[in-house]
Amino acid sequence: MQAEEIKKDMDISSWPSDLAYEQWVALPVSGARPSARYKHAAAVVDEKLYITGGSRNGRYLSDIQVFDLRSLTWSSLKLKIEPNADKSEDTSLWEVLPGTSDHSVIKWENKLLLLGGHSKKSSEAMIVHFMNLETRVCGVLETSGKIPVARGGHSVTLVGSKLLVFGGEDRSRKLLNDVHVLDLETMTWSMVEAMQTPPAPRFDHSATVHAERYLLIFGGCSHSIFFNDLHLLDLQTMEWSQPQIQGDLVSPRAGHAGISIDEMWYIVGGGDNSKGCLETLALNMSKLVWSTLTTLKERHPLASEGLSVCSAIIDGEKHLVAFGGYNGKYNNEVFVMKLKPRKSSRPKIFQSPAAAAAAASVTAAYALAKSEKLDFPQIIDLNFNGVENNVPKKDINVEIDAIKEEKKTLELSIEEVRAENSGLREKIDELNSNHTELSKELQSVQGQLISERSRCFKLEAQIAELQKMLESLQSIEKEVEILRRQKSALEQEMELSAAQRQGSGGVWQWIAGGT
């Protein structure tokens, strides 16, 4: 399905009501457009799309462009340096944000925060820029702690008052798969020591958080491989896993854009350096099922790498807003898709039912048995909800009783699952037995086929010999016929010669008798 364009002579103020659901539409623009680009960063605030930086023809861009989703007009946002900045430094660099690409932008309070990215201005550690949307002041936020190395092509996800940074590519093109947390209230960095197998180092992937607990990583690439895998980090247990996914097959991609709305995670664009991805995907994060919303035609602007996608609520309805990208051509069009209203479902644990019940039971039992002895420094540090545990003892006892009841229910569920598993094992054993018998029968039939093939080869050899003999018999018959003809001719010559000899003897006798 190809994106349509709204008629330019229509009433601009009512354009959202004229959109069809789940179709990409190119918005008309009044006045000048910003330069086409890719690997920029974008955010929607108060029905305005903010585009920061990016890259075009190898040049880093530093401008801030704003698209009004009501009037459908572009404007340039002029920034000024933070008033209390250090005057001893060259402040000319801070009149606008430095040219940057492959960075991330997050809205926090009345600011846009820009993290990382590649630029001409080198830095060993990751820099956090800000721009105040009310005062239009920009600057650099001072951070402390274990500041991550500078990088681009990473992902940044907001969870409560904390930012999660994953992966990317540093200045020396080293690929990363580390996880860092920035506490926006204290501006302190910390590094997450996660367990189990993390995703392979990558950049140009996408990331989101579901249910304030699970960090999801999708796609991206290394220097030679493009990924289509989905990884999950449990922010409570700090364990990586790679859950089973259902639904449509998803092709490997990097440079795509993603945005989550409620329980749905929407993925747009991307590619593998040879072709762009035409489908717009949606992952139901509660059920872990991929589906395809729409498929575009070849060379469509949205089938690009390095584009951006944001969410916007217009007239009470949710929309996707996409901009930019590169697919052999730099793009600067704005596309929107109006989403169908969805009923939100209760989040599920990202495992099979049996594993989920077992994990919940073990977790509850372990918490009951060890709660008084455990020390939780990392969990306190990574308390994404920022809620203090000032709970009365009575309430705690009530919660413990509730957990015990839930534990009993889960144990019953485990027994049911075990009984079901036992029945499945019996069926599997029966199927294995049938498979063994069929395998033996197949081997017998294969042996017979081999024997018949051998007979066929022998018969073919005999037929070939008989054909040769038949050909030789035909040759002999021809030779016999020639000999017969030669014999007949010889007999005729002999008869003629005898007749001549008889005629010659009678004359001499007549002469002799006459005398």
pLDDT tens digits along 388-439: 444 455 567 777 877 888 788 888 888 888 888 888 888 888 888 888 888 8
DSSP structural state of residue 497:
H
- State the chain's mean pLDDT as an integer: 85
Where b means 16+ CB within 10 Å and e means fewer, 98-130 reads: bbbbbbbbbeeeebbbbbbbbbeeeeeebbbbb
H helix runs in 329-392, sequence order: 353-370, 377-381
pTM to 2 decimals? 0.68
Q: What percent of the chain has pLDDT over 70?
A: 82
> What pLDDT score was predicted for residue 409?
82
Who has greater pLDDT, 485 or 8? 485
More confident residue, 369 or 114: 114
In which band, very low, low, confident or very high, does the pLDDT at 370 lie, cut at 50, 70 and 90? very low
Which strands, in side-by-side order, build the sheet including 80-81? Answer: 80-81, 137-141, 128-132, 111-115, 104-108
- Taking the C-alpha atoms of residue 50 and residue 330, their distance in angstroms, rounded to an integer, is 18
Q: List the end-to-end C-alpha distance of the chain, in Å, as a whole number.
A: 134
Contacts of 243 (CB under 8 A, 6+ apart): 230, 232, 288, 350, 351
Label each residue of 188-210 as H, E or C: EEEECCCECCCCCCCECCEEEEE
Q: Write down the CATH number for the domain with range 15-81+96-338.
A: 2.120.10.80
pLDDT at 247: 97
Question: What percent of the chain has a predicted confidence (pLDDT) above 90?
Answer: 58
pLDDT of 350 above 80: no
Query: Cα separation of 304 and 154, whole Å?
Result: 18
Compute the distance between CA of residue 22 and CA of residue 319 in angstroms, rounded to an integer: 9
Which helix (H) or strand (E) is 493 found in, with range? helix 393-514
Cα–Cα distance, 281 to 265 (Å, whole number): 8
> 293, 287 in Cβ contact below 8 A?
no
332 pLDDT above the threshold of 50: yes
Residue 179: how many CB atoms within 10 A of its CB?
Answer: 22
d(CA 459, CA 357): 67
Sorted by where each begins, the domain ranges of the chain are 15-81+96-338, 408-482
Nearest-angstrom CA–CA distance, 346 and 210: 12
Residue 24, helix vs strand vs coil = coil
Question: Which has the higher per-residue pLDDT, 197 or 510?
Answer: 197
- CB proximity list for 159: less than 8 A, separation 6 or greater: 209, 212, 215, 235, 384
- CA atoms within 13 Å, Cβ hemisphere of 460: 6
